[in-house]
Amino acid sequence: MQERTKPNPAILFEPDGYRMDGPRLMGRQAAGNGFLRAAIAASEGRPIVGYTPLKKSAEVFASTVTQIAPATKAQWLLPGRSDQLAKIGHLYVPSPSLAEPARQRLRASPAAWSITGVTHTTASHGAMDSIADLVAAPVMPWDALVCTSTAVLSTVKIVLEAQRDYLRWRFGSEISLTLPQLPVIPLGVHCGDFVITQVERHQARQALGIAEDEVVALFVGRLSVHAKAHPHAMYAGLQAAAQKSGRKLVLVQCGWFANKTIEQVFRGGADVCPDVRCLFTDGRRDDSRRNSWAAADLFISLSDNIQETFGLSPIEAMAAGLPLVVTDWDGYKDTVREGVDGFRIPTSMAGPGTGEGLARAHELGLENYDGYCALTSQHVAIDHQVLAERLARLIADPALRRRMGDAGQQRAREVFDWAVVYRRYQDLWQELDRLRQGQSALALKAPRAAPARLDPFRTFGHYPTQQITGSTRVSACAGATPDAYEKLAHRELFSYAAKVLPSPKGVGLLWPAIAGAGATVGQLAGASGASEPEVVRAVAVLAKMGLVQLQQGAR
C-alpha cells in the first residue's frame, strides 16, 4: 500500500518572519528561514503556498522560494480563498497568535482547516496576550501551538491556568476549555550548513589572526546585555580558566550591537578578562559567521534572560561539532546533555512573589519591554565557580573537546536537523487531520463570525429607516435605464467602490422586471437566478444612484 503524501501547510508569510537579510537579525527569522527551507525540501514537487493579503509580501515570498530552490513553484493564496485553504487543510502561523486566524476561520467553519502556531519569545505582552487569548478564542483540538521546549510548555500552561482562574472569578462558574494541542517540537538547523573542513578552519583562523596554539571560545547571537546573555560571567569565567589552565585564550563574539552605547558596555566590560584576547565579528554577514564557526574550539552561551525560550545557536554549535558550555536555562535544558555534548552551568533566580514591582511597572508603561527584561535578568545568577572549573577542563583537554563535539554533532543530525524536525511537524499535521475529520458537535454549532467582526448590516441595521429585505418592492424611476447605470458606475463618485458595484450585465438581467410593474427583491432573485443577498446589494446601489425606488412590503 502506497504511503499517503505527508501534508504541507499554507504558510502565513510576512518577510520579517522568514528573511535573514534585514538590519536586525533575530533568532525567529533564522528559525523561520530554516522552516521554509525544510518545507520546500519536503514539498515533493508540490507548490509552496504563501498565505498573505499583501501583493508585495506575495512577491517577496515568491522571490525567497526561488532563491532557496529555483525549480520550486511558489503559489500565492489570498485569505479570501477559504475554499483553497480548506483543500490544503493546514495554515502555519510563525507565532503564537492563533486567536485571530481562528476567528477568521469561523466564516468557513471551525473544522475547515487546522491552524498551527509556534512559540518564540513568551515574555512580551504581545506573546502573553496571544497565549491567554487561546482560552476564549475559537481554537479547536485540531489546532496546535508548538512549544519549542519543555520550559516554554510550562510557561504556556501557567498562563492558560491563570487565565482560566481569571474567567472563573469573572463569571462565577467552572470554565470548560477547548484548547489546541501543545506538542513540544524543537527548532531545527540544516546540519549540512555547518560542515567545516580542516582547510576552512585553517583559513578562518588565519583570517582572524588566531594562532594554532590559541584556544578559541565562540559566542554567537545578539550582543545584548539584557536580551540574550549578560557577558560578565563569560568574561570572568574565561579569565579564571585562562589562569587555571595556562593556555592562550581567544573569545570571539559573533553578533551585532543595537547601538554604540551597548558596544561600549561590551568592550569596556571585557576588562575583567585581561588574559583573554577578545574579538568581535559581524554576525549579520554570512562570511563572518562562517569564519567564526570555523575558527572555534568550543562554544559558550550563558543565557540568563526571560525573553529566550529555546536557543538556536547551541544546536548550530552541535552541528558544527563544537563542545558547549551553556547555562542550565530554558530550552538549553532540552538540547545540551550534561557531560555528553558539553556542560550546563547551574543558575539561580529570585523566587515567585519578588517580581510584582517589575510586572506592575511594565504593565503601566513605566518600563518598556527591553527595560523589563534587563531588570529581570539582573536577578538571575550563574554559578561562577562551576563555570570556571568546566571551562578549564575543556580548554585543557583537546580529547574531551573532540569527544563532546562528536557527540553533539551526531545528536544534531539525529534530533535537530530540519529534515527530522519537519517530519515531526508533518506527523503532527496528520494527527490534526484525524482529529478534524471528526468535526465535533462544538464545531457544528459554532457561529459564522466572531462577535466583534459581524456583518455591518447586522451590527448597524438599526441605523436606517428601513432595511432592504426579500419583501422590499423595487420599481424604476422615470428615465432610468441600464445605460444610465453604466455611465454612473464609471464616474469617480462611484467607481472607487467598484469592488461592490453590480456588473452592467447583472443589472441588465434585473431591469426588465424592475422597469415593468416592479417586483420584490425575492421575485427579482427568482427571475434572474441571482441569490437574494446579491439582489439586495444590487438594488441598494441602484437606489443610491437614484435609478430605482424602494418601497417596504408587508412584513
| Amino acid symbol at 420 | V
Predicted pLDDT at 178: 87
Q: How much of the chain exceeds pLDDT 70, in percent?
A: 98
The pTM of this model reads 0.90
- Kindly tell me if the per-residue pLDDT of 448 is higher than 90: no
Neighbours of 420 (CB within 10 A): 16
Predicted pLDDT at 450: 87
Among 28, 27, 1, 2, residue whose Cα is nearest residue 14: 28
Q: Which long-range contacts (CB under 8 A, 24 or more apart) does 423-428 make?
A: 423/6, 423/42, 424/183, 424/185, 425/116, 425/146, 425/185, 426/6, 426/7, 426/8, 426/42, 427/6, 428/116, 428/144, 428/146, 428/181, 428/183, 428/185
3-class DSSP state of 179: coil
Among 288, 282, 328, 287, residue whose Cα is nearest residue 304: 328
Of 25-34, 71-80, 483-492, give the lowest mean pLDDT range.
25-34
Q: Mean pLDDT throughout 330-345?
A: 96
3-class DSSP state of 486: helix
Predicted pLDDT at 377: 94
| Whole-number Cα distances in Å, 261 to 22, 232, 255 | 21, 16, 15
Q: How much of the chain exceeds pLDDT 90, in percent?
A: 85
**Distance between CA atoms of residues 203 and 11, nearest Å:** 39
**Distance between CA atoms of residues 398 and 85, nearest Å:** 54
- Kindly tell me if the per-residue pLDDT of 4 is higher than 80: no
- Kindly tell me if the per-residue pLDDT of 51 is higher than 60: yes
> What grid cell was written down for 359?
510586572
Convert the pLDDT of each residue in 470-507 to its tens digit.
999 999 999 999 999 999 999 999 999 999 999 999 99
Chain CA centroid to CA 358, Å: 27
In what side-by-side order are the strands of the sheet with 114-118?
74-77, 48-51, 10-12, 90-92, 114-118, 144-146
Q: Mean pLDDT throughout 324-352?
A: 96
- Kindly tell me if the per-residue pLDDT of 3 is higher than 60: no
Q: Mean pLDDT throughout 281-295?
A: 95
**Domains in the chain and their CATH numbers?**
10-187+423-444 (3.40.50), 191-415 (3.40.50.2000), 456-551 (no CATH)
Q: Please, are residues 425 and 118 in contact by the beta-carbon 8 Å criterion? A: no
- Kindly tell me if the per-residue pLDDT of 554 is higher than 50: no
Predicted pLDDT at 22: 66
Convert the pLDDT of each residue in 185-240 to its tens digit.
999 999 999 999 999 999 999 999 999 999 999 999 999 998 889 999 999 999 99
Convert the pLDDT of each residue in 104-127 to its tens digit.
999 999 999 999 999 998 999 999
User: For 499-553, where are the alpha helices, taking DSSP H only?
Assistant: 504-515, 521-528, 532-544
Predicted pLDDT at 23: 62
Q: Please, are residues 504 and 437 in contact by the beta-carbon 8 Å criterion? A: no
Neighbours of 275 (CB within 10 A): 14
Angle between helices 27-41 and 55-68 (to 10 degrees): 70
